[in-house]
A and B are shown apart, each in its own frame.
Chain A
């Protein structure tokens, strides 16, 4: 009976009020993903508007300095709006438009998904409302301004921990309130079916390009693909076309926050257990009674107590490996990549860079590692400066 399973994970654990909406969405997506016009329009948007394909850049200085694997950076940070989020958003907003919807709503953590949604809504003439934790609005004030500039209404969410999970809950509530003209542009590979599949398909362009680019540059596939994981959309995008290539190691970097032995962490695979929340069965940070944990990370985009169901399955099967990276390690990697390659990564992506700093030196010079730089770090500069004890004003 249940639909949209990844092993035992996934499903559609949502109020009855939303069931016909997700069924309608699945039907529309099943039709349009094979529709030649839809595919062509989306390709034009991705290429001409978002700037795809993104580069696979050989980080020569970093590779030489670390003295091990040859490191390539997949430059999703160079996309329009500065992150991988636009790939999914252009797909979903175009789909919503085809479905006859006139309004989109979205949650956002760091603000990147909110900005991307507001951008696509402006481009495609859709009304747009974004729900953002009040705490995150403070951490990412510039993105709040951008969303408003793009014509979106931004609602502060004060319930619970006032961060990403509460923003997701509030957007779901808003969707139950107004379904007929509204599409929920979910920002990660999470939530009820068909979202984990739709978002993964729209993000899979990342691994499709990495594969072709690596073959062209190196004549072979990489040995290892590394990406940060909150809900997991950039990671599943970077992994997807390598899942059936067992020689390619897939590494997801979770946010350990202040450490996985503390309560101030967001590392779901490392510290969570099986549960049901936000429409899906997957792993969640929770207490003994199933109360969802108030997670923490320096990165607003990884500050989420769950992980997408496909990642949960890849963890169960051992096909992908999930490691935890602390705030301190991520900040050091943020600074390292800025100084070494002149690329300021998003603090989220810096979690993946941190893994490379540890592991690349252990790998042979004949090995190839690809790091997905999922976003750019302009938005994080003020917060990192504060972390280092320097008070700057945007």
Chain B
């Protein structure tokens, strides 16, 4: 069992996302420790990109703030090395193809392995284009996480069949961001995924409240929350740590009861 699959061993997994370097890397580091303590099972670390085409306005703005504050891929690797001295919580990077490609996929995955990162999510790399990345991930023991969308339909079997780590089910059409309700038939999508793979399934996009998390976790093995946390970081800046910790605790408690 990979470390990522272990993240799903403590009941329904709560997976928070944040953008590294927003407002600064020291705060990001503290947020990771606080989220791990508050019950996060796996943390998604966003490496900022200038033009994040799969993100809604909240995470777009965080990407630009982090870049404006000077965050770079190398500094983020250095931060993860520091984090790894204190916690072994499963960690995955979420970034865009060009950030990895321009660094050199091989060198990027080697550095990921060196600082014990567990997985990588690239929202602009579909199944057909993974050859630029997947071989290096495999060499370095990194899980390249596959995304499945409400429009995937007949593609699900093929994607899930070659997936590793966990399956990231996108709850809704459109980009990341808080939604008042999720109208997609998520259950049908998850059922189809389950027929194709035994990997754990996490649902993301649009989830912000404990009620939504409960609803989605009931259908899957975990939930991913990004914009709600990033919004809190935007609001409180360096003082966000206790607020985010409290939120993560509430969300994990909300889905824990489902076990």
A residues adjacent to B (C-beta < 8 A)? 1-3, 11-21, 159-160, 165-166, 169, 172-173, 176-179, 273-279, 281, 284, 286, 288-292
The answer to whether B126 touches A14 (Cβ under 8 A) is yes
Stretch at the interface among B3-11, B149-157, B212-220, B221-229: B149-157
Closest 8 pairs (CB-CB, A-B): A290-B102, A177-B174, A17-B149, A276-B97, A290-B98, A291-B50, A16-B149, A292-B50
Q: How far is the CB of A108 from chain B (nearest CB, A)?
A: 17
Question: Which residues of A have CB within 8 Å of B129?
Answer: 1-2, 11-13
Q: How many angstroms between the C-alpha atoms of A179 and B175 in the bound complex?
A: 13
The answer to whether B151 touches A275 (Cβ under 8 A) is no
Question: Which residues of A have CB within 8 Å of B97?
Answer: 13, 276-277
Of all chain A residues, the one with the shortest Cβ separation from B122 is A13
Q: How far is the CB of A295 from chain B (nearest CB, A)?
A: 11
The answer to whether B50 touches A177 (Cβ under 8 A) is no
Q: How many angstroms between the C-alpha atoms of A159 and B50 in the bound complex?
A: 10
Question: Which residues of B have CB within 8 Å of A176?
Answer: 54, 173-175
The answer to whether B98 touches A16 (Cβ under 8 A) is no
B170 adjacent to chain A (CB < 8 Å) = yes
Question: Which residues of B have CB within 8 Å of A16?
Answer: 123, 126-127, 147-149, 151-152, 155, 159, 170
B residues adjacent to A (C-beta < 8 A)? 49-51, 53-54, 56-57, 60, 64, 67, 72-74, 97-103, 123-129, 131-132, 147-153, 155, 159, 170, 173-175
Question: Which residues of A have CB within 8 Å of B100?
Answer: 290
In-complex Cβ contact of A19 among B98, B126, B173 (8 A):
B126
Q: How far is the CB of B99 from chain A (nearest CB, A)?
A: 5
Most buried by B among A16, A165, A176: A16
In-complex Cβ contact of A15 among B49, B60, B128, B147 (8 A):
B147
Question: Which residues of A have CB within 8 Å of B67?
Answer: 291
Question: Which residues of B have CB within 8 Å of A20?
Answer: 151-153, 155
Q: How many angstroms between the C-alpha atoms of A13 and B149 in the bound complex?
A: 15
Question: Which residues of B have CB within 8 Å of A292?
Answer: 50-51, 98
Q: How many angstroms between the C-alpha atoms of A3 and B132 in the bound complex?
A: 14
